[in-house]
Amino acid sequence: MRTVVEARQIRKVYGAKGNVFTAIRELDLTVREGEFVGIMGPSGSGKSTLLNLLATIDQPTSGEIEIDGASIMKMSEDRMSAFRREKLGFIFQDFNLLDTLTVKENILLPLALAKTDVKELERSVEEIADKFGIRTILDKYPYQISGGQKQRTAASRAIVTKPTLVLADEPTGSLDSKSATDLLESLRSLNERDRATILMVTHDPFAASYCSRVLFIKDGGMFTELAKSEGPRQPFFKKIMDVLSVLGGSAPDAV
C-alpha cells in the first residue's frame, strides 16, 4: 500500500531564549493510501499544530515531512502553492465558504482555479454533490442553508479535485448531532468506496469512531494508537473512550 504521509522526527518549537514552548516533540507518523486516520489528544496536546504542519500551513523546527513522496520542507513558495492546490483538500470547522458564491460555485472554485474544462466542471460538481447529498441546494447561497449543509458543501469543495490527502480540522465541531452524523457517514463512504485518504483532528470520540485508525497525542508526542477491527463501530468507540480517560480528557484545544 502506497505511503501518502511520512513524518520523521518532527519537532515544533515556538518562542526564543528563555520563553520557549515545544508543541511537537520528535514525532513519527505514517499514513497510507486509503486510510481514514483520526488524531486526538487533550487540550494543548499539539494535535492542531501537527495538522498545520502536515497541511503546510506551518513549518516544523526540525525533522522531515513527505507527502505523496515529495519533501514539503524543500519546496519554494510557488511550488508549495501549486502542491497545496493539486495534492491537498481542506475541511475546516468554520466552513470557509464565500458568501457571494452559490453552493455550486463554492464547490467549483478549486477546479476553476485549475482551469478545468467546462464539461468536466459540470460533471465533477454533480458527482460530488450526489455523494454528499446536496444536489438540491446547488443554486442556494451559504446564508440560505443549514450548518450541516454548509459543512457538506465545504467537504465537497475539498474533495472535488480528488486530492491525494484530505485534512479535516474539527469538521463536526459546529454541527448538531444529526448533521455531524450525516457528514461522517459521507466521509466514511468516500473513504471506503473511493479510497480517499483522510486525516482528521477531532476532540469528539463519536467522530473518531468513524476512522480506521486513531492516533493519540500527549505533550507533543505520540501516546498510543488504536486500529479499528472488522465489525460494528460501537466497540471501537468504547476503546477510544477508555484511552481518553487515561489520557486526561478530550476537550478542544487551541494549539
- Confidence check: pLDDT of 49 > 50: yes
Residue 76 neighbours by CB under 8 Å, 6+ apart: none
pLDDT in tens, 147-188: 999 999 999 999 988 899 999 999 998 899 999 999 999 999
Angle between helices 118-131 and 177-194 (to 10 degrees): 120
Instruction: Classify residue 140 by burial, with Cβ atoms within 10 Å: 0-12, 13-18, 19+.
Output: middle
| Low-confidence winner among 12-16, 138-142, 192-196, 249-253 (lowest mean pLDDT) | 249-253
Residue type, 139: D
Helix (H, G, I), strand (E, B) or coil at 224: strand
Q: Would you state the pLDDT for residue 122? A: 83
Check residue 255 and give its pLDDT. Answer: 39
- Mean of pLDDT over the chain: 90
114 pLDDT band, cuts 50/70/90, is: low
- Is pLDDT of 254 > 50? no
Domains of the chain, residue spans:
34-63+76-247
In the prediction, which pLDDT does 211 show? 96
19 pLDDT exceeds 70?
A: yes
CATH-assigned architecture of domain 34-63+76-247: 3-Layer(aba) Sandwich (3.40)
N-to-C CA span, the chain: 32
Higher-confidence position of 174 and 200: 200
